[in-house]
Amino acid sequence: MTGASSGRDAAAPSARGARAFAPQDPAFLADPASFTPKRPPHPGDWLERFPETGTTFEEYVRSEPVSRTAQRGTLVLQPLGPFRADERRLLETLREFTAAFFDCPVIVAPDLPLPPKGRRARQEGGHRWTQHHTQVILHDVLAPRLPVNAVAYLGITMGDLYPEAGWNFVFGEATLDERVGVYSLVRYFPDFTGEKDTAAARSLGLMRSFKVLSHETGHMFGLQHCARFECLMGGSNSLEETDRSPAALCPVCLKKLAWNLHLDVRERYRRLLAVYQREGLTDLARWTEARLQKIGPER
Q: Which of 124, 178, 195, 216 is catalytic?
A: 216
Strand partners for 128: 123
Catalytic residue status for 230? no
Q: Hey, which residues are catalytic here?
A: 216
